[in-house]
Amino acid sequence: MSVILTFYSQMGSVGKSTACANIAHEIAVLGEKVLVIDLSDSSTISEILLKEGIESEVIDSSPTYLPYEYVSNTKLILPTDQNNLKIIPNYPGMIDYFNEITHYTIHDLVIHLRKLHSMDFSYILIDTSSGSGNLEVAALCAANYVITPLNVNSKNITTGLTKILKKISDAQKECNSELRLLGFFLNFYHNDFKWEEATVQMIQDFAHDKSVVFNHKIDLNMDIPRAYFSHKTLRRYFLHSAAIDQYRDLTQEILDKIHAPEKAG
């Protein structure tokens, strides 16, 4: 069975889609089969990951099936330039449709997302929009784990944390009692040990959990926006970069945390 990871945030400009793309790439480099589902209204991750030369008509054509069936339609599992990594990309009409649907259709979307559990992927990563719309709710209801990047330079970090933790708690109560917050990681970080220490402590206090912040963080590094604006992951754009090393180490920590209960048992 696949492990489903939802990348979720209530705040914009935290680097969520970029992180999801690069972490997916790093997992694939380890030899694991990975599927990314783009449920974000920006379609950023589709632009980063879709294999060059894939015809846009595949995404833009009007579907003959209901949008919630879109996410489990195997014809739209498309290749990327990385072995073992595939994507179900966004298409333009999907987000607007889901902003108007009923709770019943959210339930259907969850069912279709969970159908992907049985497919031949070790990990399924879901990229969501920054907010609490129907797609975000469904992605939380379907997931095993939630991962959230935090832009530590944001002035609204405490407000964002409160909203994120409440949304996860609501999902656990209403639709997914097994959902687990895997952790927060510090993104766009600049090296200041005292600030890092204070930020980590503040997040731990909010979550009432000492282990909720990943040890590895992503520093402020100009290689990240260079790759982003070229619609590539870091590994596809650079041969060597400190940012690649940081994403590699963060990815390994994520996988270790997922599988820690198995190793303990």
Q: What is the CATH number of domain 3-259?
A: 3.40.50.300
pLDDT given for residue 99 in this prediction: 58
**Sequential DSSP letters for 189-237:** B---HHHHHHHHHHHHHHHT-TTSB-S---B--THHHHHHHTT--HHHH
Boundaries of every domain in the chain: 3-259
CA 134/CA 132 separation, integer angstroms: 7
Question: Which runs of E-coded beta strand occur in 75-160?
Answer: 78-79, 85-88, 123-128, 145-151
Spatial strand order of the sheet with 3-7 comes to 78-79, 85-88, 34-39, 123-128, 3-7, 145-151, 180-187
pLDDT given for residue 6 in this prediction: 96
Reported residue count of the chain is: 265
Residue 58 has pLDDT above 60, yes or no: no
| pTM for this entry | 0.88
Residue 115 has pLDDT above 80, yes or no: no
Q: What are residue 86's phi and psi, to 5 degrees?
A: -130, 170
pLDDT given for residue 131 in this prediction: 73
Could you tell me which residues come within 8 angstroms of residue 65 by beta carbon, excluding any fewer than 6 positions away? 73
- Classified as helix, coil or strand, 128 is strand
